[in-house]
Amino acid sequence: MRVAVLGVGRVGSAIVADLARDGNFEVTAVDASAAALQRAMLQGATSKQRLDLGDPGQVGKLAARHDLVVGAVPGPIGYQTLEAVIQSGTNVVDISFSAENPLQLAELAESVGVTAVVDCGVAPGLSNMLLGFTETACDRVERFICYVGGLPVDRGGLFQYKAPFSPIDVIAEYNRPARYVENGEIKSGAALSQLEQIEVAGLGTLEAFLTDGLRTLLDTARVPDMREKTIRYPGHAAQMALLRGMGLFGQEPVDVGGINVVPRELAARLLIPLWEFGPGDEDVTVMRVEIAAVSGSVSSRYVFELLDRYDAQTGTLSMARTTGYTCTAVVRLVASGLYSRSGISPPEYVGRNAGCFESVVGDLKARGVDLRESVAALR
């Protein structure tokens, strides 16, 4: 099967490598960066193509020449890229975290008979699948909260943080109003708010704050209380709130000596060297999903925990592993026809199919990404 991977940064490269090892795919790496393409070839890509991924016309033509497309582009061009692939009539599994709601493309995807699985990373992605799976196993779900974050092992540095993906996407996450559900009503709060401390074995005390990560769950899940919180080392939220308060995350141009400067773009450019992982820098991904559900007269609390670390043998960051391998697990489901629903499929739809969910968890486990589950009765 001919698969094109659009965007071969850290996560895209992990996707290329995993699909290439499979042996069932001819993988074309697609990116505007010659250096990124060269790295992707070293990861096992069958071929490469240099392309402006911000040009929907070029993206659509390339997609039409492949059997399946993986979208791993930066958030600002994620929606238009996804739309172009769908218009080409090619099935797609996408991890691009765009501001737009991908469900807006449902009618288009259904009209052309395309299977499009979106937001297919670790969170959103695997977290949604956990909720979808629990929904089918219980009579009703009363509460869902996802704590998730990627952290550098070395806590040194100005912000105790490094970004395994585009800094502009991280800034957008810190700036975008965060939607959550409380008593059945969708509400909106400031990102970085509702700060709390959590304890994680092996990492100690961390902080968690509200971010806009529920995404499609706001439309597809009938759960009266839902939140997503991002995990960082203590103090990070206050630092980011300070930068945001200064206007450095704004999108309106500011006149600086006669030159219009977009603060967010400047901030991203300045943060790249501070947040970039260097050779040998290690990271860890932590996720805790807590779900309160009812079956008959029994109320239970389900806790799913994931703690994954940098793979020193392959030099693969943990966030690239957990995001990329969730994506490739679903690629295999779509490629084999085991998951073939036409239209836009958020990950919770995949999770509602028990066989597909178990296949994804099995794929992750085979790659050393272990998900632990515990269940306790609630009074």
| Tens-digit pLDDT profile for residues 182-210 | 999 999 999 999 999 999 998 999 999 99
Burial class of 85 by CB neighbour count within 10 A (0 to 12, 13 to 18, 19+): buried
Both tokens assigned to 294: 């009812």
| Mean pLDDT computed over 58-62 | 98
Residue 165 has pLDDT above 90, yes or no: no
Sheet of 47-50, strand order: 47-50, 26-31, 2-6, 68-71, 91-94, 115-117, 343-345
- Can you state the angle between helices 78-87 and 56-64, rounded to 10 degrees? 40
Segment 87-125, tens digit of pLDDT = 999 999 999 988 899 999 999 999 999 999 999 999 999
Return the minimum-mean-pLDDT range out of 73-82, 121-130, 155-164, 305-314.
155-164
pLDDT tier, 377 (very low <50, low <70, confident <90, very high otherwise): confident
Domain spanning 2-121+321-369: CATH superfamily: NAD(P)-binding Rossmann-like Domain (3.40.50.720)
* Average pLDDT estimate for 234-254: 96
Say whether pLDDT at 379 is over 70.
Answer: no
Q: Which residues are 311's β-sheet partners?
A: 316
Q: What is the pLDDT of residue 167?
A: 81
Report the 3 state secondary structure along 280-294.
CCCEEEEEEEEEEEE
Look over the chain and give the mean of its residue pLDDT values, rounded to a whole number: 95
Which CATH architecture does the domain made up of 126-309 adopt? 2-Layer Sandwich (3.30)
Query: What pLDDT is recorded for position 5?
Result: 98
What pTM did the predictor assign? 0.94
Cis? peptide before 124, omega within 30° of 0:
yes
Token code pair at residue 259: 């030159």
For tokens 């947040």, name the residue: 275
For residue 194, the model assigns a pLDDT of 97
- Compute, in degrees rounded to 10, the torsion defined by CA atoms 163, 167, 171, 172: -110
- Asked if residue 315 has pLDDT above 80, the reply is yes
- 139-176 in b/e burial notation, b at 16+ Cβ within 10 A? eebeebbbbbbbbbeeeeeebbbbbbbbbbbbbbbbbb
Q: Where in the chain is the domain with CATH 3.30.360.10?
A: 126-309
Percent of the residues in the chain that have a pLDDT greater than 90, as a whole number: 91
Residue 168: pLDDT band with limits 50, 70, 90: confident
The yes-or-no verdict on residue 54 having pLDDT over 70 is yes
Percentage of residues in the chain having pLDDT higher than 70: 100
Please tell me which residue, 84 or 167, carries the higher pLDDT value. Answer: 84
pLDDT band at 177 (very low <50, low <70, confident <90, very high): very high
